[in-house]
Structure 1
Amino acid sequence: MRTPKATPILFLRSLVFYAGFYPVTIVFSIICLIVGPLLPFRARFRFFTLLNAFDIAWLRICCGVKVSVTGREHLPTQGSYVVIANHQSEWETLYFQLLIGPQSVVLKRELLRIPLFGWALALLKPIALDRSKRRGALKQLLEQGKARLQAGIPLLIFPQGTRLPVGKLGKLNKGGAMLAVSSEVPIIPVAHNAGLFWPGKSFIKYPGTVEVAVGPAVDTRGKTVEEVHEATAGWLEQTMRAQGSLD
């Protein structure tokens, strides 16, 4: 499956989407900066992600992008865990905070420098990595990630490291597997094909249904990092192919 041809109607629908998306994001970010520090983390997360709920609903109304989730039952209802997912669109950064919450997400440090939005995002306890320092970034991921997990906060990691276009898998790093094994918590792979409908860095959005598949949790106790990585990466690749987002 490939993204259809852009048309003037799709451009117009996307324009309407952004006409609502940006003003609401700016205003709500200001509110979050005022209210956020007054709330405990879990309540703060629920409040902040009202914006995500608006964005996903507005995207459906304006651009016809829907979502279908399978395997939601694999997400634990209590305790901490690690989630790894493919990264091919801005869409998953919005929706996954609704699917997995509360959570701490691993992201690039530059995002926290975005005025208003980035400052508000910093209040959600992300792990902001400096990708130019690979060894230091891994140490930071393991140290801060373990602290988040010990506090009962699930962790979301995109092992590809950056957004890749539909059809590309790239190299999946082992940081998520290392963290899950060292912390003895389950690791859950999640695959999606959002790039077919919201291609990375694309202005135009395409109507259709994003397929999200949540895989079975992998018990890391007594397993090596390599065993855990192979199990989750293999499931991720197989499921992406089935969803039509991987050559």
Structure 2
Amino acid sequence: MVSLVRSVVYTVVFYLGSVVFTVAAFASIPFGRPTIYFAPRGWAQFHYWCMRWLLGIRVVVEGALPQTGAIVALKHEAMLETTEILRLFDRPAVVFKAELLRIPLWGPAAVAHGVIPVARETGATALRRMLKAGREAVAEARPVIIFPEGTRVPHGEPAPLRPGVAGLYKALDLPVVPVALDSGRLWSRRGFVKHAGVVTFRVGETIPTGLPREEVEARIHAAINALNL
């Protein structure tokens, strides 16, 4: 019952507050990218405050997260990590579903922020656009963030990797830093109730450039699922 009440309060406070940050991000578009970074980061800080004090969820990072010169491949179990990456990384270029850009105000603000959208239904065309956006992010010394499984996966259930991470790895010629996490223990993929506790982000061993696709995918898959116990 306590978790249910906390979840209700969190939902009301967070989504009402998100409206303010979304409007602020949209309004900052004419002022250029350096200005627009403030609203998403503030939104992520606000979300962490809501998690910490309304849900009782803390985040612990084991290891050092790279802030440039790498592709960061994260496990994806809950909405939690989609906001945390804006708090934990400096100016991240995030790979995510292009259909999210249809959200009013939020979509244009995300484009201005420099996200890397992927339209899965367009196949090779989507991959080319993703690689072009990825190269632009690298030129700006921004970390490229990707959820290689492509969708949220219940805790304890590893899923096959999408081809996007291998394409980025080859085209950008950057090392991959895999990150395991266990948010799904407290925050169900589809459930409404969130539970108090600690979510761990565990930074794995850096995977160097130049490896065969099969090897790099196997190493990423093993590393991001290190907390799937």
TM-score, length basis structure 1: 0.85
**1:240 counterpart = 2:227:** yes
Q: How does 1:219-238 map to 2 (within 5 A)?
A: 219-220=208-209, 222-237=210-225
**1:102 counterpart = 2:87:** no
Counterpart residue number, 1:76: 66
Distance in 1 between residues matched to 2:120 and 2:151, nearest whole Å: 10
State whether residues 80 and 150 of structure 1, in contact with CA within 8 Å, keep that contact through their aligned partners in structure 2.
no
CA drift at 1:42: 4.2
Counterpart residue number, 1:29: 22
Aligned residue among 141, 148, 166 for 1:152: 141
CA drift at 1:147: 2.5
Distance in 2 between residues matched to 1:134 and 1:160, nearest whole Å: 16
Q: How does 1:107-146 map to 2 (within 5 A)?
A: 107-146=96-135
- The answer for unaligned runs of 5 or more in structure 2 is none
Instruction: Give the alignment's Cα RMSD to 1 decimal.
Output: 1.8
Runs of 4+ off more than 3 Å: none
Counterpart residue number, 2:195: 206
CA drift at 1:190: 0.7
State whether residues 127 and 167 of structure 2, in contact with CA within 8 Å, keep that contact through their aligned partners in structure 1.
no
Classify the secondary structure of the residue corresponding to 1:203: coil
Aligned residue among 9, 19, 22 for 1:16: 9
Identity of aligned residues (%): 30
Classify the secondary structure of the residue corresponding to 1:160: coil
User: How many residues of Structure 1 are paired with residues of Structure 2 in the alignment?
Assistant: 229
When structure 1 is superposed on structure 2, of 177-186 and 154-163 the one drifting more is 177-186
Question: What amino acid maps onto 2:227 in structure 1?
Answer: M
CA drift at 1:43: 4.4
Classify the secondary structure of the residue corresponding to 1:210: strand
Structure 1 residues 183, 55: closer, same or farther in 2, change over 3 A?
Answer: same
State whether residues 57 and 197 of structure 2, in contact with CA within 8 Å, keep that contact through their aligned partners in structure 1.
yes
Question: What amino acid maps onto 2:16 in structure 1?
Answer: P
Q: How does 1:32-71 map to 2 (within 5 A)?
A: 32-39=25-32, 41-71=33-63
